[in-house]
Every structure is written in structure tokens, then in C-alpha cells.
Structure 1
């Protein structure tokens, strides 16, 4: 690992872009070109297709680290002395489940990234270990692990990137970790200003949990969740035959049943369902799914079949090995190893759909669809039926809810105007050129005069580089058809600053500020081009008046609060010492006379009138004679006791 080189796959045009950093694993010393080609191929299939709506927000680099051996080893436990760069391995007992990290894999990947690029860049980037292996294997953790498989590598990469870039949760059944804004524990729509709760797992891992549906508007209160059930969910990891009996629940309509399974090693299957009361079986034609142009039957392959079953009936699912009947588009290479013929997983989904005759209607709409855990119990709800790759890795694209989440999260973490640069006092570079070029961001420039009023300079609209001196406010508005329509679909950021020579003070709204940036993305319910001419003039009188009103309110509140606290404390003291007082009014009068703000003036007058005597007489408490010492060291308590004795 002495020679490390960085290859720029997609250069960063701005500092705020999110970086995807690939690191080579299990590539031999003479396979550097193969690694670069693999990264370029996967980036093209992922960013130009599944992540095309956020591609301008991403940059890609690849770090080449050679290994002593080519290929991921298959061993029963993590190797003590790994021969690859990061020590990844496959469990020899179940080689197609995943590629697992060694005890030092993640720490070593971060260390190499910090040494090769920079600590700041790597801490804000998504690290991806690309393993040189021709078969299925993906893992989403602190660092993403995928293989360079031409048939399944992209499937795992785009699914794991959904977790990393958008904090998008799982949507498939029989899982163990459900969270994110695309998962809800109840079917009720979220109220206005709802905030999700945070759950803390091991090692400081956080999960955002929504107790309501946020992907639908508040107007969908009468939308009912779909009636569904998970009849079967198993991972056999063995060769057929496979027989399981299941029962369809009682219902008013027939059950639309979907069989989902995956095989490996070129296994051929025949599927059939046998009703309990009949001996004749019903054949299920399996349709193998693939979102890649490269089809490798030795790799893990996914298939599906559909049938309509009667409610309240017992059936038997039977899977038998048969000749592999699929047609393939390529001639397969002689890989270094071939997996055994295995039936990897089997699931049976039962649904009652409103549009039984046209399932495409159900596939394209957002709704409330149940999710079941490993024990087939209902745990929550998801946005779509089966068209999102967070549920089906072969789908090829995200649903509208997940696209919205990924886009908003990237924009929230980027804060593009935070990287506004004034270059050598000659120009201001917004670094929004890639977004402006893609038509995703529109810019407006407002020039401020000495009174605080501003007017848009229409000649500079959508100009990403400014060269004219003055006090400016830049408004950048981002809109996209991939944002959900029931939520504000315009994101806005503002930055106010002075550009010029010397020190100048600019009045921006209600604050007389030194040149600075005020940046934050906020949601705006208005459309960018609506009332275009009406909003050209931006005045600050209302905001300034509001600020002055706040200051006046705080002053009045302070002068009312201090006397209130003072009298409350006096009342508490008098109540506590009520047994020693003849009346509450006398207690108040004595304390106020003793600790009032006018005491200093009275004490001076009192000391001057009693300067010739050691003590003075006064009449209080209805004429009772009480002696008060002229010495300021005596307490009020002693004076009250003395008055009773006399």
C-alpha cells in the first residue's frame, strides 16, 4: 500500500458539493485501470439514472490502493493477516450473503482517505469500499461496501447511497431496522409543525422515527392503509426442494398474491401452489428481474410471480429445481470461483388492491402500505407499493417520497451560499454555476441604498459571478419537480454582504451590520416567477419597526418584572414570619422601610437627628415605645423583638 493515487471521476465545481470517494479493495497491483473503469461504469449507472435529480450536487473521486492478492477471500472468520488493502472477506458458509469488514477495515479506510485527500473533505464525504468480486455483496454501515459485479454491484450501491445521502429507511418486509421519513409507525397524517423523535442505538447511532405519515398532506385524513399480509418470509440458503404451507386470511375480496425469491449459482426453479382441498397444482411462471444490461445467472438473481388466491384457504408453496430456462445476453466468463446452486430467500405478500384489474395505478401513486417485521407482525407503513428501490433493489429508481428526502437533505447539508467567495476584491463567485446551468437554481440580486431600501437589478438575474461594488442581497431559489407537491416546493437561501474597497456599513433590513453572510435554506410557499414585477421592491420599514417594537416590549417587561419579584419575596418573608408580626401590613412597612431604595436617604436623615444620643425613641405599633439603635449593624429582627419586650 505504498503507492496511492487519486483519480477524479467527476470534478467538484463548487466547495459545497458532496463527495463520493471510492477506495479500491482486493485489486492487484496491475489492476489499477480496471478499478478506474469499474468506478466510471458504476457512477454512470447510478448518478445518471437513479440519482439524476441530485447529480449536480455530487462530485466523485477514486483512491487507488493496490492489494497483495486479487479478489475477496472466502474464509470462515476474519483473516488475522489480510492480504487485501482493507481486510474484507466473505463467510465461506454463506458466501453470497454479503462482503464483511474486518476489525480494522473502517479505521484504515478513514486513515488512508485523510492522508490522501484531507480530513475535512473525508469527514463530510461518503466513503465506498469497492471490492473486486464478481458476485452479489453489499453492506451499508459507517462506510459503504459493494462489489464490482456487473450484474448486482449497482443494485447494492444505489440502495446504500439512499441510506447515506438521504437518511432514507428500509421499506422491504422482514427487516429489523426501520426508520427515516419514508417510514411511519401509524397511518395518520402528520399535524402541522410536527417534529419526529430520535432514538439512540449502540455506539451513538441515531434513528429518526416518525409516528405519523409525512409524505401525504394533512388533507388525506380519510386515506386508509392498504389491507395486506405477509404469509411467508424465509432465507433457506440451500438447494430445493422447498415446501411451505400458508393460510390466507378471511376477507371480502380475493388476495392478490406476489411471490418474491432470489437464487444463485445458476439454479433453475419451477414454482407451484397446491390448494389443501385439491390435488391439482397451479403453476407459477417465474419472471426474473434485472435492472442491468449485464445478466450473470451465477450471481444472485431475483424473480417474481403473481397469482390471485381465495380468502380463508390453506395452500402449499412448492419450489423444485429444474433446468435453467432463462435466455442470457452474454457468454459468461470463467470467474475465479462459482457459488453453489442456492435458494437464497422466499417471501409471499398478500394484498387487497382497489384496482385489481389495473395494478399500474397502485404502483404509481403514493399511499399507506403496511410493512411487516421478521416475525410477520405489522411494524409500520411505507409510501409506495413496490416501485421504490428501497423496497425492491431491482426497481431502478426511487419513489417520489425518497427523491424528495434525498434532495432536501443534500441541500440542507450543503448551504451553497455559505461558500460565497470574494476573489481579490474583483468579483464575487457564488459557486452556484452547476445548479444554474442545470436550471435548478435561479438568482436575484438586490442593491441596497443608504436608507435600507433595495431594488432588484434585473440585468443580473441568474448571474453567478458579480463584479460590481455595493451593498447586495443575493436570493437563490431552488425548485424541482422531484419535490413533493403538498410541501413547499421552493427552497430559498439569502446572503447579504458588502462588496467593495474599504470598510463600509450596509443597512440590511432591521440590522445595521458589518459586511457578513446570513445564510439558511428556508421553505417558501411561493413560486419563483409569480408576481414577478410586484415583488421587485424590497423594503425594510416593516422589519425595522418590528425590531424596535421588540426592544420596547423588553424594556417594559423588565421594569414590570423586577418590582413584581421584589414584592413576591417580601410577601414570602412576611408569610414565613407571620407568628412574630402583629399584622401583615406592619411586616410590609418594616421591610420596605428597612430595604427600600429610599433607605439610604432616610438613614442619613435619621443619623443626623440622633447624633448627640446613643439611642432615639420613636412611636410605632399604635404608640408603643420601641428603641431603635442608630448603629447600622443591628438587624430588623432584633428591633422587632425589642418592641415586644418594651
Structure 2
């Protein structure tokens, strides 16, 4: 079995065409304004984040694109008293201006609707769409931008993952134009919207998303969370854990979010383990994919309760992501040779789509002690289905195990101290189990802690905006 490795940060430096010592563009490369953060932040499952301004010198002389057209989408008040999010078109030809505006409006409605991720702060936001015509429709692949693309968005390969910016100086100039050079519109956070129907994106200086009806809103919410709050990750396997939603285990008695705790008088680190986490990016047309791992139940003796043995971790969750698998019957997933029905994990709105999808399977009886085997392979029907962009991929697979009652609280709405395991084994704490889009990309809203931090951050941005404007007007 040959695995398709996900790009390392060093590989990302090469993908981005950086010149000079590659060593300077590893995790140790620092953002000039945030020395605690790297300029390139990569994770094998989600879109990377790149701060182009920290990697490339820009003297500010690059002109903005010609023929830009402004379309207001959500205006809540005067520009000076709001934070402006601005969509810029890439890969939309002149005849697709209407499509671009409709795509941007749908994304706007998703985040600022009353139940949306930013509905509670919609009064602080102005949102615009700026159409910039491209000569070719779509987004580039295999490290090549399409000819005449406004900002040169491209995928480094066929996989449905990162989408990068070739003409980042032009994108920066476009945002600067609407922020500083004209009286209409604004641009505090640029969002580059690629005309592509499938998953992909980028975080950092530019929020890059695609027009995927299923995944575009998911990527937008998550990456804006990083850009606007800012906070780090909540999912396992990363390395950037910081901000309002992250704290050290040693601080469990005095957490950053102590005012939000459901049981402030009884705070503990919830007992959850991650015995396996894999990011194979493996094309199942090459053959089956399988992993073998030890259950966390193997390390502890069962608890005797009322005459029966109870596993220390009686329940578990299997989470995986797939691409180009449109039907649940196209793959056969087994755990210890037992078939797992995925029908319930394929929402009706997603059935038939070859976009990247997120699958969760509760394991109500947990995992047996000892060795466990997960096997994923195409069925005959799946093998015969025409392959979509990026291949019939299993892109990630992880197993979580949860402690028994009294050691793990899975109640909806519960805010406590949940462990998160980094790529190097360090443990940090987060406020909720699975109820925040910063952890679970397909969750529709922020947790209360992140939601409050977002509001506070936006108010701070507006205050600084007013101070800067006042300083410019002083004689």
C-alpha cells in the first residue's frame, strides 16, 4: 500500500516558490507582528494558513487590478464603525459576475443569519463583494494558476485541500484600494473566492475559499475564526494552540473561560483518549487502507461495578473524511472485521456529491482491549463509479475514546476542560467536547467562549480603526 503523504511545512515552502534557505520557512519561521506564531501553519486535514506578508517583501507599488466592481452584500452601519469583510473574485470570467455575486451572497447569508456563526455580531460587520474578471473560469491545479486568473489561485496537486495565492501582492493592493483609496466600500479582511465547486482553501493574511456549496461555508467560518478572533486550533494533531479557547492543563483551576464553566465548583480534565489519528490522503483505487492500533482500554483494568466489568472507556467515536465517495454503499468500512453501516453518516443533502465529506460513527459499545483493526476499501459499486477530482480518497481517520460516567461529561452545552492532543503529544485544554466549529469544521457555530471572544475582538478592531483615523486627521 502506497500512501500519498500530506505536504510538510518545508514542502509548502517549496510549493509557494520561496527562494533561499528552506530552513527559514519551517515551523520556526515567525510572523513579524506575532513572534509566537509561525508564518506557515500546516495541518494534514484542514486548509493550511500562510502569511504571505511575512514571507515576501512588498514595497507597496503593485497596482490593484483593473475593472473592479463593488457589490454591497451586508451593510450594518458606517464603515468607520464596522469591520469590513470583502470577497474578491478569482476564476470568474466577465460573463460570470452574477454567479460570483450570488456565491458571495450565499456565503454572507450563511454567516450573518440569526442562527449563523456570526449572527450575534452581524451588527459589527459590513460585507462586500468585489468582482474582478479573470480570463479563464476555474482554479488552477498541479501548482499552476489558470491563464489570466485575477489573483492566480491554484491547488498544488489534485487533492481537495489547500488553495494558494500566486498574485498575493495584487490581492493585497486590491484590499488596500478599497480600505484606503476610495470612500465607498472597505476591506479589513480580504476573502479570495475561487470559482471551483469543490473543497479547498487557505487561512492567514488572506482567507481563501471556493464556491463549494457544501464546504465553502464550513471553510469560511473556520478560517475567519482564526483571522478575526484570533484563536488557535481545537482539533487533535496540530501545534498552534493559543487564544481564548486554549489553556494549559496546569491552569485547570483557573481557566481563561472560568466565567463560562457549567460547573465552576467542580472542574476536572475530562477523560478522553485518542488511540489513533491518521492522515493518509490515500486513493482507495490503489487497494484497501487499514490501520492497527491499541485501545486505551488495554492499559487499564476493567472496573467491577454491581458484579459486572465495565471498561474504563466504554464509548468511542470513529471520524473520517473522504473525497469522491458519493454514496455510503461505495465503501466498505469494518472495525475488527465487523461491517459498519455508514448510511446515517451521509446526510441527504450530501448524497451524490463527490466533494470532500466528513463522516462520524458513534461506537456505543466502545473498543475491546488489545489490538483493533480498521479496514476501508471500495465496494464493487464504488470501484465502478467514475472518479472525481482528487481521486477516491480517504483523507483522515481518527478514533476517540471516552471515559465512563463520572469521568467524562458528554452533555450538550456543557462547558468544562476537555483535552486536546498536539502532534508532539502535548496536551492542552479546550472549553467544549464537539460543540465548536474551531474543533469540528462541520459544526455550524462557535462555542460560547469563541463567540464572546469574536465579539470582543471585533469591538477592539473598530476601536483601533477609529484611533488610527483620528491620528491621520491630526494636523
Q: What TM-score results when the alignment is normalised by the length of structure 1?
A: 0.54
Q: Is the 8 A contact 1:187 1:225 kept in 2?
A: no
Q: How far 1:235 sits from its partner (Å)?
A: 1.5
1:352 shift after superposition:
0.9
Q: How many residue pairs were aligned?
A: 376
Offset at residue 355 of structure 1 (A): 6.9
Partner of 2:459: 411
Question: 2:201 maps to what in 1?
Answer: 138
Instruction: Give a deviation string over 1:350-385, Cα, whole Å, max 9, x none.
Output: 1214279x97x523200111111224x233011111
1:260 and 2:303 correspond: no
8 Å contact from structure 1 (residues 113, 119) kept in 2: no
Q: Partner of 1:409: helix, strand, or coil?
A: helix
1:345 equivalent in structure 2: 396
Q: What residue number does 2:135 align with? A: 68
CA distance in 1, matches of 2:395, 2:238: 15
Q: Is the 8 A contact 2:160 2:389 kept in 1?
A: no
**Per-residue deviation, 1:257:** 1.3
Q: Distance in 2 between matches of 1:291 and 1:5?
A: 37
How do 1:475-490 residues align onto structure 2 when only pairs under 5 Å count? none
2: distance between equivalents of 1:41 and 1:259? 32
Unaligned runs of 5+ residues in structure 1 are 192-211, 275-280, 326-333, 420-646
Change (3 A) 1:133 1:296: farther
Residue 366 of structure 1 pairs with residue 366 of structure 2: no
Deviation of the 1:118 alpha carbon: 2.3
Instruction: Give the distance between the partners of 2:353 and 2:129, measured in 1 at CA.
Output: 29
CA distance in 1, matches of 2:215, 2:380: 22
Determine if the alignment matches structure 1 residue 111 to structure 2 residue 159. Answer: no
Partner of 1:146, secondary structure, is strand
1:422-449 deviations in Å (ceiling 9; x for gaps): xxxxxxxxxxxxxxxxxxxxxxxxxxxx
Give how far 1:145 is off: 0.2
| Residues 168, 406 of structure 1: 8 Å contact kept | no
Question: Secondary structure of 2:280's match?
Answer: coil
1:158 to 189, 196, 221: 221
Aligned pair partner of 2:374 in 314, 317, 325: 317
Give the Cα–Cα distance (whole angstroms) in 2 for the partners of residues 339 and 295 of structure 1: 18
Q: Distance in 1 between matches of 2:96 and 2:357?
A: 27
Cα gap change, 1:90 to 1:399, in 2 (>3 Å)? same
1:414/1:85 CA distance change after superposition, 3 Å: same
1:248 maps to 295
Q: Is residue 55 of structure 2 the alignment partner of residue 6 of structure 1?
A: no
In structure 1, distance between residues paired with 2:397 and 2:356 = 13
2:149 counterpart of 1:84: yes
Give the CA deviation at 1:289.
Answer: 5.3
Aligned equivalents of 1:131 and 1:417: distance in 2? 29
> Retained in 1: the 8 A contact 2:420–2:430?
yes
How has the CA–CA distance of structure 1 residues 163 and 339 changed in structure 2, closer, same or farther, with 3 Å as cutoff?
A: same
Distance 2:224 2:121 in 1: 12
Q: Are 1:233 and 1:348, in contact at CA under 8 Å, matched by a contact in 2?
A: yes
Q: Are the aligned partners of 1:190 and 1:214 in contact in 2 as well (CA < 8 Å)? A: no
1:182 is aligned, of 245, 248, 255, to 245
What CA distance in whole angstroms lies between the structure 1 residues aligned with 2:98 and 2:354?
A: 25
Contact 1:36 / 1:62 at 8 angstroms: preserved in 2?
yes
How far is 1:187 from its partner? 5.0
Deviations 1:299-356 (A, max 9, x none): 001101121335642211111222679xxxxxxxx99x73321111111111214279
Q: Which of 91, 97, 109 is equivalent to 2:161?
A: 97
Judged with a 3 Å threshold, the aligned counterparts in structure 2 of structure 1 residues 289 and 412 are, in CA distance, closer, same or farther, namely farther
Task: Pick one of 425, 428, 433 that aligns with 1:380.
Answer: 428
**Residue among 204, 214, 234 paired with 2:257:** 214
Which residue number in structure 2 is paired with residue 540 of structure 1?
A: none
1:33–1:294 CA distance, 2 compared to 1 (3 A)? farther
User: Against the structure 1 CA distance between its residues 304 and 310, is the aligned structure 2 distance closer, same or farther, given a 3 Å change threshold?
Assistant: closer
* Matches for 1:607-646 after TM superposition, within 5 Å: none
Secondary structure of the residue aligned to 1:364 is coil
Cα gap change, 1:417/1:142 in structure 2, threshold over 3 Å: closer, same or farther? Answer: closer
Deviation (angstroms), 1:242: 1.4
- Distance of 1:310 and 1:38 partners within structure 2: 43
* Compared CA separation, residues 59 and 289, structure 1 to 2 (3 A): farther
Check conservation: 2:178, 2:186, Cα contact below 8 A: no
Cα pair 1:73 1:90 within 8 Å, conserved: yes
Map of 2:106 onto structure 1: 41
Contact 2:295 2:367 in 1 (8 A): yes
1:183 is displaced (CA, Å) by 0.6
TM-score, length basis structure 2 = 0.72
Range with greater deviation from structure 2 (180-189 or 167-176): 180-189
CA distance in 2, matches of 1:177, 1:157: 19
Task: Return closer, same or farther for 1:135/1:215 CA change in 2, 3 Å cut-off.
Answer: farther
Return the structure number with greater strand share: 1
Distance 1:411 1:190 in 2: 29
Distance between the aligned counterparts of 2:260 and 2:101, measured in 1?
Answer: 45
